[in-house]
Amino acid sequence: MSAVDQLFSDLRSKKQKALMPFFTAGDPDIQTTIELIAAAESAGANLCEVGVPYSDPIADGPVIQASYQRALDRGFKLQQVFAMGGELGDRVAMPLVTMVSYSIIFRVGPRQYVERAQAAGYAGAIVPDLLVEEADDFSKLCSDADFSLIQLVTPTTPRERQVRIAQSTSGFLYYVSVTGITGERKELPPDLVENVDWLRGQTDLPICIGFGISGVETAAKLAPVADGLIVGSAIVRRVAEASDRGQATKQVTQFIGELRQAIDSA
């Protein structure tokens, strides 16, 4: 079992739901990212997604795109993600996974990426642009290494294809709540619950919902449906708007604490 598998096994035994914040590595700088992730765990996060900045993001909305660009403009390098993981290993117990384009993995080399990520303490990777038709080899590589390969299903993914994606996924299945890009939304699709319920009947994987979760109201609505909730843009925006590291940490800690309470009370 990977650390992600173990996490969801533990949470299911306690009838609890996972809270998974997303942070962009290096926005505004690597040390702040480290402090924010440590603060997130103390506020109730169970797993953290670390976004690897990329100049051509796949499904990211303007908030996360801007954070990637800020990090790249400051000279972000992939090695910083690995170094950051090593430092976080001494500070947090929750699993860490990277959100990373397959083009980066391919450039490094799939086996080398998994080995370097694991050596740095990462438990898996979310790879939004890996086509299911091309996923078999990398899926097997990750499975053999107990490294979770987390893939995405969207509202427009045909149901037969959703099943294929689930079959090559490990750790958890990332269900995209809305058609389109990441970002905070006040309303979510009316058929979201029905679609997740159908998918739950096709796989034993935990199903976690992301995209569009803007605050406690949407978190409370979705918590009964999902095994976990992923919150990105709402957190990245707070980091961007903060005047300094201390304020960013305070705002993120408060927001994650509010989300934790909403999820647990739902």
Select from 210, 217, 209, 212 the least CA-distant residue to 184: 212
Domain ranges, residue 101: 3-265
Domains of the chain: total: 1
Phi first, then psi: give them for residue 54, nearest 5 degrees. Answer: -150, 140
Give the integer Cα–Cα distance in Å for 266 and 263.
5
- How confident is residue 190, by pLDDT bands cut at 50, 70 and 90? low
| Cα torsion 249, 254, 255, 259: sign | positive
For residue 224, say if its preceding peptide bond is cis, omega within 30 degrees of 0.
Answer: no
Q: Catalytic residue positions?
A: 49, 60
| Cα torsion 215, 220, 224, 225: sign | negative
Q: Which residue has the higher pLDDT, 183 or 220?
A: 220
Q: Report residue 7 as tokens.
A: 């996490």
What pLDDT score was predicted for residue 193?
84
pLDDT digits (tens, 9 = 90+) for 24-57: 999 999 999 999 999 999 999 999 999 999 987 6
Report the CATH number that the domain containing residue 124 is assigned in CATH.
Answer: 3.20.20.70
pLDDT digits (tens, 9 = 90+) for 75-130: 999 999 999 999 999 899 999 999 999 999 999 999 999 999 999 999 999 999 99
